[in-house]
Amino acid sequence: MVAATKAKNALSLLLNSKMDIMDLPKKSVEIPRLSQSFGEKMEFTIRALNNKEFKNIQDLAIKFDKKDADIDTSLVQSMILIEGIVEPSLKDKELREKFGVATPIDLIEKLLLPGEILHLYNQISELSGFGEDSIIQIKN
């Protein structure tokens, strides 16, 4: 009986909710090395990915053959950063021109160290609902 009550409460909450409360979570993440280089706090505003964005990234980065799936983890990380970093937009043409790169992936590689890429990737993954255990399972 308790489970049925909880299910009914969850259903009532969803039916009575306003869709705008279900906005994707955001937060700011400082990159200390860049802050030091620029002489002021350098933060990236990141957000969670929605299901469609995550599926599109999977489709781009996972290649299936008859026996296995080959995952390009570097591409997964880069694509998650491109979609998950709101400010500054890595897709911004003026920003890419300033740093002399053609693509958002090139910009990531020019601006960030590997550990910084991984840190931002982990932060976006957590906002998207993946805990440490989920991230490990996806990699495996």
Check residue 20 and give its pLDDT: 59
pLDDT single digits (tens) 64-116: 777 887 888 899 999 999 999 999 999 999 999 999 999 999 999 999 999 99
pLDDT single digits (tens) 14-31: 677 766 556 789 999 999
> What is the tally of structural domains in the chain?
1
Please check whether residue 5 lies inside any domain of the structure. Answer: no
Please check whether residue 92 lies inside any domain of the structure. Answer: yes
Helices (H), 1-140: 2-15, 32-38, 51-61, 73-84, 93-98, 104-111, 114-127, 132-139
- State residue 51 phi and psi, 5-degree precision: -60, -40
Please check whether residue 14 lies inside any domain of the structure. Answer: no
Please check whether residue 13 lies inside any domain of the structure. Answer: no
Please check whether residue 39 lies inside any domain of the structure. Answer: yes
Residues of the domain holding 125: 23-139
Band the pLDDT of 138: cuts 50, 70, 90.
low
pTM beyond 0.85: the answer is no
